[in-house]
Amino acid sequence: MTSHVLITRDEPLATLTIDRPQARNALSIAAMDELRRAALELRHDERIRAVVVTGAGDKAFVAGADVAELAALAPEAARLFAQRGQHVFDLIAHLGKPVVAAVNGYALGGGCELALACTLRVAADTARFGQPEVNLGLLPGYGGTQRLARLVGRGRALELLLRGHAIDAQEAWRIGLVDRVVPAGELMPAARALAAELAAKPPLAVRAILEAVTRGLEMPLGEALAYEASLFGLAAATEDMREGTRAFLEKRPPVFQGR
């Protein structure tokens, strides 16, 4: 059976590669199901502390969904199709460990939405981003209308969503869609270096930060602050907190165990 999603482990890192280069790594239904299984596998692998997501080849990160599959959808099937995709991307957004998107080319439609679901985004200077669904008589269905607006603001998100045009990596960086832009030949080393830096941090504190920010953005400020305080209390009970504070006072590097 053809595999559309590859997992490469180099503990404590893992790399997820969407491997459909002949289709510009478009997210077919089969590829989305494999991505779901891969995300669940990595979520529960305590040896993996950070993940890099990229696309095979040098042309596309993910060029979108499979349009032939989209064209055949009836309304109720389309609703379920969107919900399944949202579920997969929610798994990535709530993986419990940092996920770095290494955007190596076109990140359009579902590809842009996949990048948005990641914790941080590093783009090659040749990358291009867009949500062109409006040109198909559709709207993004994998979370693009929501995550894009939260990341870059309402006005910039609406311009991208309503015009359906693509922007280059520098413009994506200018509006806050990506966090770093690097030369194409340096993309994977840069993404892996960032992931390795994050993987070296105490994993329980990292998970708490991810939860505080991701879930807190969905709450009123008062509730989000209370949630932050509860996570702060839980973090204070960990061995990693005691090691981190002790190492700081003893002026030595900490050794975190994830406990």
The model's pLDDT over 175-215, given as tens digits with 9 standing for 90+, comes to 999 999 999 999 999 999 999 999 999 999 999 999 999 99
Whether 258 maps to a domain, the answer reads no
Q: Which domain holds residue 221?
A: 203-249
Q: What are phi and psi of 71, to 5 degrees?
A: -60, -25
Quick check: 1 pLDDT over 60? no
CB neighbour list of residue 50: distance below 8 Å, 6 or more residues apart: 12, 13, 14, 97, 98, 99, 100, 195, 196, 198, 199
At 174, list the tokens.
């200018």
Query: How far is it between the farthest Cα atoms of the chain?
Result: 64
Predicted pLDDT at 258: 83
Predicted pLDDT at 238: 92
Quick check: 242 pLDDT over 60? yes
Predicted pLDDT at 147: 96
Predicted pLDDT at 2: 63
Considering the domain architecture, whether residues 137 and 191 belong to the same structural domain is answered as yes
Whether 255 maps to a domain, the answer reads no
Considering the domain architecture, whether residues 218 and 130 belong to the same structural domain is answered as no
Compute CA distances 200 → 152, 206, 212, whole Å. Answer: 29, 10, 20
Which range, 17-31, 175-189, 235-249, is most confident?
175-189
CATH of the domain at 44: 3.90.226.10
Quick check: 139 pLDDT over 60? yes
Pair 170, 62: CB distance under 8 Å: no
Predicted pLDDT at 72: 84
Predicted pLDDT at 66: 78
At 187, list the tokens.
């993309």
Predicted pLDDT at 54: 97
Pair 6, 53: CB distance under 8 Å: no
Q: What is the mean pLDDT of residues 16-29?
A: 90
Q: What is the mean pLDDT of residues 164-181?
A: 97
Q: What is the mean pLDDT of residues 111-121?
A: 97
The model's pLDDT over 48-82, given as tens digits with 9 standing for 90+, comes to 999 999 999 989 999 987 788 888 888 898 899 99
pTM above 0.85, yes or no: yes
Average pLDDT of every residue of the chain? 93
The tally of CA atoms less than 13 A away on the side-chain side of residue 56 is 17
Whether 257 maps to a domain, the answer reads no
The model's pLDDT over 32-45, given as tens digits with 9 standing for 90+, comes to 999 999 999 999 99
Quick check: 134 pLDDT over 90? yes
Total count of domains within the chain: 2
Give the active site residues: 113, 133
Strands 50-55 vs 99-103: parallel, antiparallel or unpaired: parallel
Instruction: Name the DSSP letter for residue 27.
Output: B
Whether 254 maps to a domain, the answer reads no
Considering the domain architecture, whether residues 189 and 217 belong to the same structural domain is answered as no
Q: What is the mean pLDDT of residues 16-40?
A: 92
Considering the domain architecture, whether residues 109 and 209 belong to the same structural domain is answered as no
Predicted pLDDT at 88: 95
Examine residue 75 and say whether the peptide bond preceding it is cis (omega within 30 degrees of 0): no
Considering the domain architecture, whether residues 129 and 240 belong to the same structural domain is answered as no
Whether 53 maps to a domain, the answer reads yes
